Structure formats: structure tokens, C-alpha cells
Structure 1
Amino acid sequence: MPVKTKVSKVVVLGGGTAGWMSAALLKKVLGDTVSIELVESEQIGAVGVGEATIPPIQLVNSVLGLNEAEFLRETNATIKLAIKFENWKQQGHSYFHTFGAPGKSTAFCHFHHYWTRANQAGHPSDLWDYDLNYQCAINGRFAHIKSQDPVFELPYAYHFDASLYAKFLRKISEAMGVSRTEGIVKDATLNSETGMVESLLLDDGRQVAGDFFIDCSGFRGLLIQSKCGAGYDDWSHLLPCNSAVAMPSERLPETLPYTRSIAHQAGWQWRIPLQHRNGNGMVYCSHYISDDEAIATLSANLDTAPLADPKIIRFTTGRTRKPWSRNVVAVGLSSGFLEPLESTSIHLIQSAVVRLIKLFPHNGIDAANVAEYNKQSEIEYLQVRDFLILHYFVNERQDSPFWRDMQQLDIPASLRHKIDLFESTGKLFREQEDLFAESSWLQVMLGQGITPRDYHPLANAPSEHKLLEMLANLRAVKAKPAAELPTHDEFLKSFCGR
């Protein structure tokens, strides 16, 4: 890097979840060592496709010191224990990807090996019978379980209104000292010698100067692409969906604690239950169906009456090649887009900001810092990408060209190895920093129809009688809380005062 200038002021371009989460976390952790100014315009709406989250969101809330009840109230949030995948393997078939882990693993042998041994010995059972998250999800129940026994762990995330969440984060940020500037950014000035961004130029002539910039300008990538030329890796050949239509609808009488992902002719539909409404949408590939067909499919499959007209969103699946370029870091949609199939959109915002905090250039831009940030970002996107491809590639549907074509994808070698290893031996290994644990890969692979031919030899340690006794006890233990906990709606009412 050409020069080192101490970073005293950070400018965040864009609001929404990406902008305000960036501002809130940076200010909370870095405190008065830097000043933070966020520039946004009320005239520019947020994309807001991410209303479902995964458990690491609790880290953000914890760092920010949020009161969970207040957070749930102010964002109209509900609890998320799992995603239910419908019609993905075949039409009429469904399975769950929960945040829990089935059964109880031993030191060197995961539970599913014992379960596989019993199945092969003629004692079949459903893997999800041993999953507490699943038991609570299908029974519509939730509460905080106070137990040190890992058997009773009930990991959860949230569904929330993304626009309300951004407002909530804004309130917290401004209370900590983040300043907000209203205005539309039309350009940016660069240092003629270093190429570093020096200031944002607003359409009314004002300038907002800074030492370091966070680009949360969405798909436009106003700084990271237009000024820094960071490049973009297009993954449309692996994840070809390129459009989405979103349409909110009235809430259901019963608020289920899970997301639904329903596969259709050329894509899939999400249904996200909030306290005040349902979030609905459909991700699809425009090469197979038109916008009108997608809107008609979504409209025909709404559970409740629509509350707004459909909104079309265009995207190109992929990632920004150098999300940290010069003195700019891209966060949110400007850093890439992976469809919200596994609710990773908001998490990728969170992880980008946490990564920046760990590598924050307080004494100026350092090439090694930049390289490490970009390397970690690439690894994360590649791992999430592979997990999403798995859902599409391992399907048995023959009812439409889209699903048949998905079976012919030329998948990455990394994913091929993971599938082959599991199918042959039942073994799963979590790669370093992989967002998804072995239990996640296990549930999707089994749910999509991949059955391992073998299991770990340690699963042969107990006698058949002891094995069946262990499985029966685990089933009973996992089912017990689901019969005793309050319903999801009862929890929200008592905990949030709603």
C-alpha cells in the first residue's frame, strides 16, 4: 500500500441492516478511538430480503448489550428453530434443517453413525426423532431451557422485520455517538497519488471526508466497484437463480417457530412468520420462467391475504473479488450475493464487520491485513456457496427442466469430495471456519436422499441391545421438553409483553 494514514474517522456509505450494523458494532467495540459518520438517503429504499437469521446473530446482540425482549418487540421478531424444506428432493417430500444436533455424539464418533448402524441392522427410525429443535418446531413450542446438559441445548435464531431491525440499530448507534447525514451520494473524490477515497460527494454539493470507508451501497457497489474496481466473481453457472419477487401477507393465527422453503417449478418460495405479518417471496431463474409466472406462483401459494404489491429484485449470484480494496471495505450486497436459502445474508454482514474489527487498520492500511481479510472472505463465501449448491444438485425431481438441469451441475471438487465421503463412509468433517457444522451437512444430505453405505467402526462398541436401549432413551429425552414447553405464541406474549 502506498501510504499509511492513521484511521481516525470511518464513513459508512448506506444505511439498512448492513450500514447500521457496521456502525453499531464498530462504535461499540472501537469506542472513541474513531468517529463514525453514516451517510444515507430516505429516498433510497433497502432491498430487505433478509428477514431470517441463524444463531450467530446472538453474538451481535450480546456485543451490543441488547435486551432480548426489547429487541423482539421493536423488530416484531419471532423465534426460528429450523428451516423446513418442502418439495426439494421430490414433490410432496419434506425434511428439516434444524439448528440442533441429533442425539448425543461421543468423543470420536458422531451420533448418526450409531443411528445408521441400527437402521442397517433392521431397526429403522427417523433421525429427527432425536433432535430437540425438530421436536419443538413441529409442536410449535419454545422457551429458554436452563440446563447445562448438552442434550437439552435448543439453539435458535430469529425472524424479524429487516426495516425495523435497521431502525433499531440506528437508535443504538446514534445513542453511542454515531452521526448520521441525510443525502444522496453521487460521486467520491480520490487522492490523485494514492487512489484512496478521500470523501463522498453529495448531490447538493456537500462533501463527507474520512480516512476509511465502508461501502454498504447495495448492488451498486458505488465505492468498491465504481471507484476501486474490485471485480466480481459470477457464480451464475452454479447457482443460476437471478431474480426474486417479495410480497408480505397477513400473519397466521399460529406463529410457527421455523422458516418454510418450498420448491416450485423453477425456484423456491420462502415463508417467514413475524409477529405482525408473514414475509413471503420466491427466488427463481428468469431463464426458465417469466416474472409474471413467478408472481402468479407466489400469489397462488400464499397462506394469507397479501398486504402489498409484489416487488421484483434482480441479482447476480457471486462475490466481490477484493471486498477490501484500498481504504474501502464492502459490506452487505456490495460484497456479494448468495440467495437467502439458508438465511446467511445478514450473517455475512455480521461476519464481514467482525472480520474488519479483528483486522482494523488503526495505524493505516497494511497490505498483509488487506490480504488476510480478502482471503478469509473468499473462504467464507466459497463454503456457503457449496452448501447452497448441495440443495439444488442432490434432487430427484423430474417434473421440470430447471430441476433436471440442476442435477447436471458441474459442482466444485470440494463439494464433490464431501458428498462422496459421506455417501461412502458416513463421515463428515467441518472445514476450518465453515459456518455450517457437521449436523447441518448431515441433515441436508439425508433429507435430500443421500444414504451412507457404511458407518464408523466405533458405533459397533455397544451391543445391539445396548444400542437400541440408548436410542430409545434419547428419543424419550428429546421428546420430553416439546410436551412441556409453552407454545411459541405463549412465549412471545409472556416474554415480550405482546
Structure 2
Amino acid sequence: MDKISQRIKKVVVVGGGTAGWMSAALMQRILGTQIEIELVESEDIGTVGVGEATIPPIRHVNAVLGVNEAEFIRETKATIKLGIRFENWKNLGDSYYHTFGESGQNHAFCQFHHYWLRAEKLGFNTNYWDYDLNYLASVRGVFSNQRAKDPSWDLPYAYHFDSALYGQFLRKISETRGVKRTEGLIEHVVIDSDTGFVSQLKLQDGTDVNGDFFIDCSGMKGLLIQKKLGVGFDDWSHWLPCDKAIFVPSKRHEKTHPYTRSIAHQAGWQWCIPLQHRNGNGLVFSSNHYSDDQATQLLLDNLETPALGDPKIIPFRTGRARKQWHRNVCSVGLSSGFLEPLESTSIYLIQSAIVRLIKLFPHEGVTDELVDEYNAQSKNEFELIRDFIILHYHVNERTDSQFWRDRRSMEVPEHLQNKLQLFKANGQLVQDQIDIFKDPSWLQVMLGQGITPKDHHPLANAPSDQQLVEMLTKIIAHKRAPLDRLPEHDTFLSTLCEGQQ
């Protein structure tokens, strides 16, 4: 890129759905007084209204947009998510939780799990998650969004919601605040012969849409970033070989759990996401191990409630665009890459991409420095999430299928291997700066998948045996104290939504 492009006065978002409308909404909210924003989408391209699970940063998006939580929950049929229950991942019949909470109480220079590890060696065997209020509330099915007087009683949370309804919700916000929506299918993308930048979209009805900067939210086809600019793709299927997802809605449970379920099968895994009006179900699987018919039957046979529609299958390829920002096009959502939704990162990666673009926005024109920094951060973030997902597959004890044996014996990325070796040696975890998953998340998955460190931090030896047991007993009692005062999850939802009517 030898020269700076023209000043950015107009941004065009290509594609709707969650990626397009979140991009438009956030850009309008932050930069709307300085740039014009137009979104191009077609009603002929349908959206998949699956149940979507999220992680807590989604609440930051809603806060920036000024969203009323009760209105949001009512309009998107949302429920609360306190974490994920993983079943059959370590071995058949085993389960553990990855919650948004944190167990116990950390001390200076020594995290809580070192004290717990020492107590285990003494024979004081307790469930690590019994020190985690998010886990305790999940199991009991209770929740409150009220800030507790004691910070250790706060419940970090996210949501499950209908992704199609969420897209509509964001569209309403965007259009109300001035985003222009243009209906139409894109027939041709015009490239400026001098700069190599995208300059115009030609629609099938003859409409021309001009822009200075384009956000590609066109999904896996990557209409601009791949089909037009051809940036290439880093394929990660050798680590994550599942390449298809099948999904189907089913009747809601009588009681909605405040957590996502992830159930491992012989060559993939099944999700169950509880919504107010139905359950979202799906199966991520390897087509080298299951035919489409086998996968469909497996999913239907394992539904807990009657199906409400016909199963649909989507093929995918795990990996990322080699350049997620190239020239004057930034890819957001599935056009930028795909990681299976095991840890509910799909919407977070949309959020992160658009926030990063806003922070590095090329107001006076696109420069190499801005593009390079954006791409470096995006690459790092994608790879860290990739490694976290690989962790679930790699550290397993299953012997019932070749799929799981292959995952256990595969060579993993160096960063993940180093992280595993450090934790196995003495329970140490080193937080990567841009990693959305903090130490408590890595810890829960490593412990849940069966890794027991050989040693603990020496500071955990400071209390006497009796003092250590008394300390842990007191923490468990403290964590359990607020449970009886918390309303049931469904009661919380109905009270909140009724108050919004």
C-alpha cells in the first residue's frame, strides 16, 4: 500500500444479521457524527435463527448501545447463561462446568487453586466448583442480576438468545439512530484501478452504492475479502477436524437451565441452548466419521424434547482469513474466519473485531501501520481462542472411538503445549494479554479434563493443616450463603419481562 487513501467519510456494511447490524450499530453509536453508514443486505438471503450462546462481554455492547436489559431479554427471547456444562469430554459419564465465575479467594502472589491442590493431597477432598457461586447457582437454577453487597457474591453472566431476533433488535436500534439500509443483491464489486481499493457495489436492480471503507459481513462466502480481494485462508482442520453442523429447534424445557450444555459424542459434540420459547439444539461433527444421515439421526435421538422443525446442515471450514483487514475492506463475523461455537465466541469475535476497528479507525485514510496492527491483534486473538478450543479435544481420556484417540495423540500448537506443560508441573497459569479467556477459564477446563498438577505454589504451605481446612470450609459456607435468597431463573425472567410490558 504505497499511498494513503482518501479520508473516510462513508462506511458501507455488506450483509446484515448479527455481524452486519452489530457493526452498524456500534459504528453509528461511536462515529456516527463523523461518518455516514449504509448497510446493504437482501431479504432473499435468509438468516439462521439458531439459539445463540454468548460470553459476558456481550453486556458491554448492550451498555454502549444504551440497551435496556429487560427489553432486550423480552425481544430476543433470552435466558441467562452462567456457564457451560461439559458432558463426556474427559470420559464417558464425566462432567464438569466452565463458568464465568471464579472459585474461592485469591491471595497475593498465590491463586486459590494452589490451596485447594494442597488440601487435596492432605485428603481434604472437595469439589473445586463448590467454591464457585456461578456453579452453585447453575446447579440450583437460581439467578439475580442485582449487585451484591459482598463482591464475592456477584454472578458474572451472559445470555442465550434467538440470533435472528437479536439481529432484528440491532437493526431497529441502528435504523432509529440514522443507519441507512439498502435492500438488494450485490451483482458486481468495483475496484479502483489506481488504489486497488473497493469503490462501489453494483446491485442487481441497478443501484450503485459508493463508499470509502467497506465492512464485509457477508458470511462464509467472504464476498469482498475473499472472492474479490483473495486474501487467502489459514486452514486449522488438522487440529479441529469437525466440518459440519446440524441444528434443529425443539420444545422448551419446563424449567430452563441458566447454562449451556455441551455433550461430546463419538465424533463431535451436541449443544443445547435454552431459550424462553424453545430450545436451540445442534451437533458439530466430522464428516469423515459420520454421514449426514447418521449425524441427523444421532441428534434427533438425543433430543430431550420434541423437535419443532426439520434439521438443517451447514458445512464449515475451521480457520481464519490470512488478512482480516486488507486495503479498505475489513472482514467481520464469518467472513473473517470460523471457530466452532464450543465456547460461545462467535458473537464475541464480531464485537471484538468492530471495537478494534473503531479504535484503529482510518479517519484520514487507510495506512499500512493501522492495517498491520489490526491484523496482528486479530491473528493473536483468533489463535488464542483456537488453542483454548483445542484444549478441550486434546486433553481427554476417551478410548471408545478413533476420533478421540487421534485428538489425544495429535501435535498441538506450541503455545498451547507450553501452557499445558507449565500447569502440569506446578499449577501455574500465565495470562496472555489479549486472551478473552482468563486464568479461571483455563483452570476449570484443565481440571475438568483431568489434569492434576504435580506441585503447588509454596505460599499455599503457609497455613497449618488445620488452618487450611478451616479456611476452605469457611469459603464453601460463604459461597453457599446467598443461594436461598436468589429467585429461580424462570421467576427472574418472568418478573423482568412482565415489568417491561
Which range, TM-score by smaller chain? Answer: over 0.9
Please report how far the alpha carbon of residue 68 of structure 1 lies from its aligned counterpart in structure 2 after TM superposition. 0.3
Indicate whether 1:492 and 2:493 are aligned. Answer: yes
State which drifts further: 325-334 or 43-52.
43-52
Question: 1:462 deviation in Å?
Answer: 1.5
Aligned to 1:79: 80
Match of 1:207 in 2: 208
- Partner in structure 2 of residue 388 of structure 1: 389
- Aligned residue runs from structure 1 range 434-445, under 5 A: 434-445=435-446
Aligned partner of 2:290 in structure 1 is 289
| Contact 1:12-1:39 at 8 Å conserved across structures | yes
Alignment of 1:315-334 (within 5 A): 315-334=316-335
Pairwise CA distance, 1:465:
1.5
| Contact 1:145–1:152 (CA under 8 A) maintained in structure 2 | no
Match of 1:41 in 2: 42
Match of 1:185 in 2: 186
Q: How many residues align?
A: 498
Counterpart-to-counterpart distance in 2, 1:460 and 1:66:
48
Supply the distance in 1 between the matched residues of 2:154 and 2:487 (Cα, whole angstroms).
16
SS at match of 2:53: coil
Work out whether residues 48 and 163 of structure 2, in 8 Å CA contact, stay in contact via their aligned partners in 1.
no
Alignment deviations for residues 110-137 of structure 1 (CA, whole Å, 9 cap, x no partner): 1000000100111111100000000000
Residue in 2 that maps onto 1:142: 143
Which residue number corresponds to residue 413 of structure 1? 414
SS of corresponding position for 2:490: helix
Please name the residue that 1:481 is paired with: 482
Instruction: Provide the rounded CA distance (Å) in 2 between the counterparts of 1:453 and 1:48.
Output: 46
Compare 337-346 and 400-409 and name the one that shifted more.
Answer: 400-409
1:346 aligns with 2:356: no
Contact 2:51 2:280 in 1 (8 A): no
Q: Name the CA distance, whole Å, in 1 between partners of 2:284 and 2:163.
A: 18
Aligned counterpart, 1:461 = 462
The residue that corresponds to 2:67 in the other structure is 66
Q: Could you say which residue in structure 2 is the equivalent of 1:218?
A: 219
- TM normalised by structure 1 equals 0.99
Offset of residue 273 of structure 1: 0.2
Q: Which position in structure 1 is the counterpart of 2:231? A: 230
**Corresponding position of 2:173:** 172
Letter in 1 for 2:92: Q
Q: 1:358 to 1:148 in 2, by over 3 A?
A: farther
State the Cα deviation string for residues 155-176 of structure 1 (Å, max 9, x = none): 0000000000000000000011
Cα 1:47/1:409, change in 2 over 3 Å: farther
Tell me the CA shift for residue 145 of structure 1: 3.6
Equivalence for 1:130: 131
User: Are the counterparts in 1 of residues 51 and 273 from structure 2 also a CA contact under 8 Å?
Assistant: no
The answer on whether the counterparts of 2:53 and 2:161 sit within 8 Å (CA) in structure 1 is yes
Q: Secondary structure at the match of 2:103?
A: coil
Preserved CA contact (<8 Å) 1:216 1:330:
yes
Larger CA deviation: 139-148 vs 368-377 = 139-148
Asked if 1:301 corresponds to 2:302, the answer is: yes
Structure 1 partner of 2:256 = 255
For residues 365 and 50 of structure 1, do their structure 2 counterparts lie closer, same or farther at Cα, with a shift above 3 Å needed? farther
Q: How far apart are 1:277 and its partner, in Å?
A: 0.5
Cα distance between partner residues in 1 of 2:356 and 2:147: 31
TM-superposed deviation, 1:150: 2.9
CA–CA distance in structure 2, aligned partners of residues 123 and 102 of structure 1: 16
Report the CA distance between 1:46 and its aligned residue: 2.5
Q: Which amino acid aligns with 2:334?
A: L
Partners of 2:248 and 2:311 within 8 A in 1:
yes
The code of the aligned residue for 2:228 comes to K
AA paired with 2:364?
Answer: N
Q: Cα offset for 1:29?
A: 0.5
> Secondary structure in 2 aligned to 1:248?
strand
* Contact 1:13-1:216 at 8 Å conserved across structures: yes
Contact 2:51 2:279 in 1 (8 A): no
Q: Shift in Å at residue 48 of structure 1? A: 5.2
Find the aligned partners of 1:16 and 1:107 in 2 and give their Cα distance. Answer: 45
Partner amino acid, structure 1, of 2:66: G
What CA distance in whole angstroms lies between the structure 1 residues aligned with 2:239 and 2:151? Answer: 37
- Matched residues, percent identical? 61
Distance 1:222 1:50, change over 3 A: farther
User: Contact 1:332 / 1:348 at 8 angstroms: preserved in 2?
Assistant: yes
User: How much does 1:80 deviate?
Assistant: 0.1
Listed as ranges, the gaps of 5+ residues in structure 1 are none
Find the aligned partners of 1:335 and 1:247 in 2 and give their Cα distance.
26
Shift of residue 3 of structure 1? Answer: 3.1
> Offset at 1:432?
1.1
Distance, in Å, in 2 between the alignment partners of 1:158 and 1:3 is: 41
Asked whether the equivalents of residues 3 and 194 of structure 1 are also in contact (C-alpha less than 8 Å), the reply is no
**Could you say which residue in structure 1 is the equivalent of 2:370?**
369
In structure 1, C-alpha distance between the alignment counterparts of 2:368 and 2:457, rounded to whole Å = 45
CA RMSD in angstroms, aligned pairs only:
1.0
Please give the alpha-carbon distance, in whole angstroms, between the structure 2 residues aligned to 1:30 and 1:154: 33
In the aligned structure 2, how far is the partner of 1:249 from the partner of 1:456? 47
1:13 corresponds in structure 2 to: 14
CA shift at 1:49, angstroms? 5.4
Deviates more, 1:445-454 or 1:49-58: 49-58
Distance in 2 (CA, whole Å) between partners of 1:17 and 1:135 is 32
Summarize deviations over 1:291-333 as a string: whole Å, max 9, x none: 1111001000111111111110010000001000000000000
Change (3 A) 1:47 1:375: farther
The answer to whether residue 151 in structure 2 is matched with residue 160 in structure 1 is: no
Q: CA deviation at 1:30?
A: 0.6
The one-letter amino acid paired with 2:306 is A
Deviations 1:322-367 (A, max 9, x none): 0000000000000000000000000000000000000001100011
| CA deviation after TM superposition for structure 1 residue 4, in Å | 2.5
Contact 1:49 1:340 in 2 (8 A): no
1:331 is aligned with what amino acid?
V
Post-superposition, which runs of at least 4 consecutive aligned residues in structure 1 deviate over 3 A?
A: 47-50
